[in-house]
Structure 1
Amino acid sequence: MDSYAVFLRGINVGGINIKMAGLREALQSAGFSDVRTLLASGNVVLTSRLDAVAVKRECEKCLRDAFGYDAWVVVLDAARVSELVAACPYPDDDKSTHTYITLSSDEAMLDELDAAGAALEGVEQQRLGPEALAWLAPAGGTLDSPFSKISARPKFKASTTTRNLRTLIKVRDAAAKPGSAGS
């Protein structure tokens, strides 16, 4: 069994409200093991005999069937989450800026987002791999930041999701300690 981190896009915002207990139950009913949720923003650690592509497909089908919304997830091997956290050059806790990592299931879409961000003046970002892009936003101004506005475009909705670095650290730690998460 392999350990995966599953990042749901767009739940508990914009009218799509899912209780974490219901999310865990749905994913367990779909055949996933050791399903644990972190925070209430769609972060899941689970184990499966499937590969990451199949985990993504099955999670999206499960969410669509159980909760009736157009679900998209990004799935990473738990070890890869740890590598991305280690590769991030930005601080996990800073009073003036927040560090975010945009995760993607489509490298071409992340390439496009990376190029769009690089074209903006004053945006600090760094590609961490084919599936991740780290970027900084001013504290208190994340949603108004130019990069955040670009990443929120509908064309990126099905393949990207963004988490702050502190959340990825929690996911990394939960994946390393089976049975330690829950919300």
Structure 2
Amino acid sequence: MKWAAMLRGINLGKRQLKSAELKAVVEGMGFTEVKTILASGNVVFEAGDAKPEAIERDLHAALEKATGLKSEVFVRDRAELAELVENNPFPAEARERPSFLVVSFHREPVDKAAIERVAHCYDGPERMVVIDRELVTDFPDGQGRSNLIPVMQKAKLSQANTGRNWNTVLKLLAALDG
């Protein structure tokens, strides 16, 4: 089965990882058809019958061993990404400004009560929709100008996750098809 793996916080500040290093680590695990996507810790590969939890755990350990870098790893298969794209709650925004639409990938279902706490204490322009283990957020003014992230942290929406803009989500899905 083919998987897309997304690493948290890669190539931000001192957390540098070259695509060639990531590819070598994944190939060293015995996975095949390895292809990195962009330079932000995205890779697709064939992993046979490996379970997603094992891939996440083992890739995390292999990266740390090979590079010293500790990074949370989140994997999704083609069906999961296709379903996310199909159920996008913001289709117009995805067409008009896809880099301002961000998907946060989580290991467990997103805490809807925490999202409701955010909605009650924050009146910014951003909109959020939970789709099982993903949180889709529309940042109409961009993430850099948003005050939403600190509010989300106060609402205890701090479980491990990694975000990708809509363009990257579509590139990962396309790579799984290729």
Question: When the two structures are superposed, what TM-score results if normalisation uses the length of structure 2?
Answer: 0.85
Aligned alpha-carbon RMSD (Å): 2.4
Deviation at 1:161, TM superposition (A): 0.6
Deviation at 1:117, TM superposition (A): 3.5
- Highest relative contact order (Cα 8 Å, sep 6+), 1 or 2? 1
List runs of 5+ in structure 2 lacking aligned partners. Answer: none
CA-to-aligned-CA distance 1:91-130 (integer Å, 9 cap, x gap): 224259811111101336x44653343332233111122x
Tell me which residue corresponds to 1:180.
Answer: none
Compute the displacement of 1:70 (Å). Answer: 1.9
State whether structure 2 residue 50 is matched by structure 1 residue 50: yes
Q: 2:131 aligns with which of 128, 147, 164?
A: 128
Call closer, same or farther: CA 1:54–1:159 in 2, change over 3 Å: same
- For residues 99 and 46 of structure 2, what CA distance do their matches in structure 1 show? 34
- In structure 2, the CA distance between the partners of 1:5 and 1:115, relative to structure 1 (3 Å rule), is farther
Asked whether 1:67 is paired with 2:67, we answer yes
Which range is displaced more, 110-119 or 160-169? 110-119
User: How many percent identity over aligned positions?
Assistant: 27
1:82, distance to aligned residue in structure 2 (A): 1.1
Q: Structure 1 residue 157: deviation in Å? A: 6.7
Letter in 2 for 1:56: E
Residue equivalent to 2:140: 138
Contact 2:106-2:162 within 8 A present in 1 as well: yes
What per-residue deviation string (whole Å, max 9, x for no partner) do you get for residues 150-180 of structure 1? 4578x76762011111110110011011xxx
| Change beyond 3 A, Cα 1:150–1:85 | farther
Matches of 1:72 and 1:158, distance apart in 2: 11
Q: What is the CA–CA distance in structure 1 between the aligned matches of 2:61 and 2:42, rounded to whole Å?
A: 17
- State the TM-score, normalizing by the size of structure 1: 0.83
2-structure distance, mates of 1:116, 1:37? 37
Partner of 1:36: 35
Contact 1:116 1:150 in 2 (8 A): no
| Counterpart-to-counterpart distance in 2, 1:18 and 1:124 | 32
